[in-house]
């Protein structure tokens, strides 16, 4: 009898879940369905109504107005991150279940990293004024204007770097800083390996690890070896010829932007108290349902049984760390590496290029 009740209960719960999913899927929508009149105060922005790179389009939309706690920033440059293609493609598919939008993207705007000039400030804002040159992150940055909150991810741009360089910093720079300082807790003299040293995060990470006094090994392909060395790497491993997990060298910290070796292989080249910091990995066409999300779970299960620390980090972009990076750039200790620059109407080409997975440093969108 109990068995039968249990069977019916489980079946009913599963059926209810299935019905809920079907309803949620087919009612999943976004503001594209409500657009009617043309904007009264227009600005150009990249928008998408459905998942997929082919659905990105440049449109005139309403120019935002800052609220009491926000700035109105005229964007001079933006930068492209794998974060953007995750949202554009809706991959790994699990993110669609996690609030990004089941059938269609909930948020139709794209881009995060920007640099520009403050045009207006809300009445509660005391730390910025019109005319200030700033950089940071705010959703919808592939547009002529953004309205970041004055106490969130926005900081003054150092005078010695361009808007294009400043626009490259927010996600990649803060990720590299937090991975080295907070997760890796890198100390002078420690051996740090950066897998994926020539990409957006990697080019910042090599310089930051070096500025922390580490002995840095960068893993990249031969064509990027000179670049990675010029950023301060003491050693370079060409991944097309050598597998760093098979070598004799042991590392105190491994920052992994690629996740192309198993956790066991990475552990092998960690010191007994070493730290493995997973940042990301997996190409645009390799995401499937979970992407690399099972890897941190495996690391979590493994961690209590081993002496090393293994885990994933998620960057938290904020004003304090943007200011740390601004000070480093001002002092000449950190220089963003720019690969290519595209225009606003070429955002799809820029994303397509990034999705190939071989950018050298950062890919920029310049507004003028």
Ligand X SMILES: NC(=O)c1ccc[n+]([C@@H]2O[C@H](COP(=O)([O-])OP(=O)(O)OC[C@H]3O[C@@H](n4cnc5c(N)ncnc54)[C@H](OP(=O)(O)O)[C@@H]3O)[C@@H](O)[C@H]2O)c1
Chain residues that interact with ligand X, rule: CB under 6 A: 81-82, 171-172, 175, 195-196, 198-202, 219-221, 224, 239, 257-258, 260, 279-281, 313-315, 354, 357-360
- Cβ proximity to ligand X: between 5 and 314 the closer is 314
Please report how close the Cβ of residue 261 comes to ligand X at its closest, in angstroms: 9
Residue 286 CA neighbour count, 13 Å, CB half: 13
Task: Report the DSSP beta bridge partners of residue 275.
Answer: 253, 309
- Cβ proximity to ligand X: between 171 and 233 the closer is 171
Please report how close the Cβ of residue 366 comes to ligand X at its closest, in angstroms: 18
Q: Is the dihedral of CA 77, 80, 83, 87 positive or negative?
A: positive
Neighbours of 71 (CB within 10 A): 27
- Cβ proximity to ligand X: between 75 and 278 the closer is 278
Please report how close the Cβ of residue 243 comes to ligand X at its closest, in angstroms: 10
Residues 195, 166, 315, CA angle at the centre, nearest 5°?
45
- Cβ proximity to ligand X: between 51 and 244 the closer is 244
CA distance 70 to 127: 11
Backbone angles phi, psi at 295, to 5 degrees: -65, -50
CA distance 95 to 92: 6
- Cβ proximity to ligand X: between 150 and 236 the closer is 236
Q: How far is CA 201 from CA 170, 174, 318, 346, in A?
A: 10, 9, 16, 23
Q: Is the dihedral of CA 267, 198, 112, 330 positive or negative?
A: positive
- Cβ proximity to ligand X: between 73 and 171 the closer is 171
Please report how close the Cβ of residue 258 comes to ligand X at its closest, in angstroms: 5
* Strand, coil or helix: 229: helix
Residues 141, 146, 149, CA angle at the centre, nearest 5°?
110
- Cβ proximity to ligand X: between 184 and 200 the closer is 200
Please report how close the Cβ of residue 176 comes to ligand X at its closest, in angstroms: 9
Please report how close the Cβ of residue 223 comes to ligand X at its closest, in angstroms: 6
* Closest residue to ligand X, based on beta-carbon distance: 280
In the chain, what are the helix, strand and coil shares in percent, each to the nearest 5? 35, 25, 40
Alpha helices of the chain — where are they, by DSSP H? 2-27, 82-89, 94-95, 163-167, 170-178, 200-211, 225-230, 263-268, 294-302, 319-330, 347-355
- Cβ proximity to ligand X: between 140 and 196 the closer is 196
- Cβ proximity to ligand X: between 66 and 280 the closer is 280
Please report how close the Cβ of residue 352 comes to ligand X at its closest, in angstroms: 12
Q: Rg of the Cα trace of the chain?
A: 22
Please report how close the Cβ of residue 20 comes to ligand X at its closest, in angstroms: 30
Please report how close the Cβ of residue 11 comes to ligand X at its closest, in angstroms: 39
The residues near 59 (Cβ < 8 Å, ≥ 6 apart) are 44, 45, 46, 47
- Cβ proximity to ligand X: between 64 and 280 the closer is 280
Please report how close the Cβ of residue 35 comes to ligand X at its closest, in angstroms: 31
The closest of 123, 112, 150 to 134, measured between CA atoms, is 150
């Amino acid at each position: 009898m109990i068995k039968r009740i249990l069977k019916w209960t489980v079946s009913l719960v599963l059926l209810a879940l299935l019905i809920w999913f079907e309803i949620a899927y087919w009612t999943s929508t976004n503001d594209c369905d409500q657009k009617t009149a043309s904007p009264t105060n227009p600005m150009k922005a990249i928008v998408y109504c459905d998942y997929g790179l082919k659905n990105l389009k440049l449109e005139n939309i309403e120019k935002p107005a800052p609220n009491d706690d926000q700035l109105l920033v005229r964007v001079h440059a933006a930068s492209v991150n794998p974060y953007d293609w995750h949202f554009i493609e809706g991959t790994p598919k699990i993110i669609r279940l996690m609030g990004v939008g089941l059938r269609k993207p909930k948020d139709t705007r794209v881009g995060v990293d920007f640099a520009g000039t403050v045009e207006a400030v809300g009445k509660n804002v005391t730390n910025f004024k019109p005319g200030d040159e700033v950089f940071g992150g705010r959703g919808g940055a592939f547009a002529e204007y953004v309205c970041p909150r004055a106490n969130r991810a926005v900081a003054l741009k150092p005078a010695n770097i361009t808007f294009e360089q400043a626009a490259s910093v927010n996600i990649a720079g803060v990720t590299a800083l937090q991975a080295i300082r907070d997760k890796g807790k890198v100390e002078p003299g420690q051996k740090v390996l950066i897998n994926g040293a020539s990409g957006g995060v990697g080019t910042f990470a090599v310089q930051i690890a070096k500025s922390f006094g580490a002995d840095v090994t960068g893993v990249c392909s031969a064509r990027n070896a000179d670049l990675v060395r010029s950023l301060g790497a003491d050693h370079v491993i060409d991944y097309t010829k050598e597998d760093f997990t098979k070598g004799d060298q042991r590392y105190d910290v491994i920052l992994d932007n690629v996740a192309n070796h198993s956790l066991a292989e990475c552990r092998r080249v960690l010191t007994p108290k070493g730290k493995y910091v997973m940042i990301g990995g997996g190409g645009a066409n390799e995401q499937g349902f979970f992407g690399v999300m099972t890897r941190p779970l495996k690391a979590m299960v493994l961690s209590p049984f081993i002496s090393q620390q293994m885990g994933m980090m998620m960057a938290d972009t904020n004003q304090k760390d943007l200011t740390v990076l601004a000070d480093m750039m001002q002092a000449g200790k950190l220089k963003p590496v720019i690969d290519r620059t595209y225009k606003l109407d070429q955002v799809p080409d820029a994303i397509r290029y990034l999705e190939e997975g071989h950018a050298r440093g950062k890919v920029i969108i310049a507004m003028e």
